Structure 1
Amino acid sequence: MKHSFTYYLTLIIIKLKGLKQKFSQDPIDYESIRKEDVYKPNGKFFKKNITNRLQILNTSITEIGLNDSNKLILFIHGGAFISGPGKHHWDTVKSIVQSTDCTIWMCNYPKAPEFHISDISENIDAVFMKATEVFEPKNIILLGDSVGGTLITSLVQRLLQEEWQLPKKLLLISPVMDASFTNPDIDKIDSFDPMLSKKGLLSAKKMCAKDYHLKDPIISPIYGSFEGFPETILYAGERDITYPDQILAYKKAKKANVNIKLIEGENMPHIWPFLPIMKEAKMALNGLITKIKE
């Protein structure tokens, strides 16, 4: 596949930002990475279309919508459990809201190392329960990138265990399915992943896990069950160290008869549908929006 000029430009920008270097440190410098966080977006669009702000436990929710919709996208952002949301998350929110009739809840949940996976999961559960008080579960879509994908996958596993109603659909963008990073195929990709490194990600996961084993489904949903999952769409980029475990999770979900679709990005980096500038990212995001409308 021939890539666009903007693909190579994006790789240069990622390199100049030093993301690979930041994710190659142990312990990971979470305070430095958090400098890119955006908690309150700027601009006329958000000033006009932020309709509500909620606080649920330690999670701050920003509600964005063009109208009074009965459809909700619960957006659980990524950031290695230590940071976020970032500008690219808000840009994605804007694109989705402008192109659909959905309301979005952007969920700024508590982060490690101040909080741990049990605290974070408790918050995600509480947010979903609150959402079901306002929206019917059949009208709720869960959207998560990177560890946001981890959190919504493990949420659904808990919902199934407790026999709660499920959301309509899961949209997983480069989800981290195994926090232990023990898959040997990861080491083959680490050298040419432009953004992430196993060393730093493991450090972040250990900060978050605390007393939990890194292979516990609460932080590594690949070790949980996928039986009974709702429709799931999985975006996986080949130039991403989290890719090998995404493929294993996809195969496990298929074996469990989940209605799951895999969208692979040839030579694409982590969370590529959310990256700015790149032509391939815009195409992937447009495809994601189409899936939301279905």
Structure 2
Amino acid sequence: MAGWPVYHTAPSAHHDVSKIVVFLHGGGYINEIVRAHWRIVGMLTREAGVRCVVPIYPLAPHATARDVVPAMGELLRRFVEDAGPAKITVVGNSAGAALGLAATQWLRDHGYRQPHGLVLISPGGDFSIGRPQQVAIAERDPINDIPGAREAGRLYAGDLDVTHPYVSPLNGDFRRLPPMILFSGTLDLFYPDCIDLAAKARAAGVSVELHLEQDQPHNYAGMPTPEGRQARAIILRAVA
């Protein structure tokens, strides 16, 4: 679809077609889908008993937000329309979570129907990374650093400003978006973004469930830890 590879998984030949997850992988817009992402897809397929759809979107610098966000929005439009009354949940981690949020903002702006829910795992809300507290967080973040994250944002922005909502959806409009579940940890460079993202969504009348974990890193929800297992249990309930 849209010239992109799109993978479909299902728990069995007699799977429940009334529940679908669109999974958007992370990687800072510059890295391809990896085994850890497929483990999440496998968990959702087997344990939640849902069908998963996994678009493999093109990466920066060869593809940038100006093209990727509208194309992802159009894919979501087709998934939502083709699914009819089926429950569709968009699950994304890191850059994939930000892309999912930007794509639903695109759907809203173009008058299209929204998916039933968003599950955002450690979304990168603002790739300008200009908050003073992020300097202190970066000293303890075991995964992201400020120069690398800024460079990934610059490459993905292309000819757009890095603060453009396609790149930094925290700066977009949150009205009439689907209910959201967010996960973040205090060791995550984007932790302050998640707090503000939840606040902006709530102020716009969007239902938000925010899960903040002390001393947990970026994408902790996918890790083999007690906190990660607890987060995945919440995600399984949300998509089932």
The question of a shared fold, defined as TM-score above 0.5 by the shorter chain, is answered with: yes
1:58–1:198 distance in 2 versus 1, CA, 3 Å = farther
Q: TM-score, normalised by structure 1?
A: 0.78
Q: Cα distance, 1:170 vs. partner?
A: 0.4
Q: Cα distance, 1:135 vs. partner?
A: 0.7
Aligned-partner SS, 2:181: strand
1:59 corresponds to 2:7: no
- Aligned counterpart for 1:203 among listed residues 122, 130, 151: 151
For 1:78-227, list aligned pairs within 5 A.
78-136=26-84, 139-227=87-175
Question: Which ranges of structure 2 fall in alignment gaps of 5 or more residues?
Answer: none
Q: Cα distance, 1:188 vs. partner?
A: 1.2
Partner of 2:229: 282
1:291 corresponds to 2:234: no
Aligned-residue CA RMSD (Å): 1.4
What letter matches 1:286 in structure 2? A
Cα distance in 2 for residues equivalent to 1:89 and 1:279: 18
Contact 1:138 1:167 (8 Å CA) reproduced: no
Aligned-partner SS, 1:229: coil
Cα distance in 1 for residues equivalent to 2:178 and 2:168: 19
Provide Cα deviations, 1:3-53, integer angstroms capped at 9, x if missing partner. Answer: xxxxxxxxxxxxxxxxxxxxxxxxxxxxxxxxxxxxxxxxxxxxxxxxxxx
Q: Cα distance, 1:123 vs. partner?
A: 2.5
What letter matches 2:128 in structure 1? S
Cα distance in 2 for residues equivalent to 1:58 and 1:123: 10
Aligned-partner SS, 1:195: coil
Identity, in percent, stands at: 27
Partner of 1:261: 209
Contact 1:172 1:234 (8 Å CA) reproduced: yes
Partner of 1:29: none
Question: Which ranges of structure 1 fall in alignment gaps of 5 or more residues?
Answer: 1-55
Contact 1:81 1:204 (8 Å CA) reproduced: yes
Cα distance in 1 for residues equivalent to 2:84 and 2:141: 40
Task: Tell which structure's C-alpha radius of gyration is larger.
Answer: 1
Cα distance in 2 for residues equivalent to 1:233 and 1:68: 23
Bigger drift between 169-178 and 136-145 goes to: 136-145
1:258–1:62 distance in 2 versus 1, CA, 3 Å = same
Bigger drift between 189-198 and 152-161 goes to: 152-161
State the number of aligned residues. Answer: 237
Cα distance in 2 for residues equivalent to 1:153 and 1:77: 13
Bigger drift between 176-185 and 123-132 goes to: 123-132
Cα distance in 2 for residues equivalent to 1:195 and 1:71: 33
Cα distance in 2 for residues equivalent to 1:94 and 1:222: 29
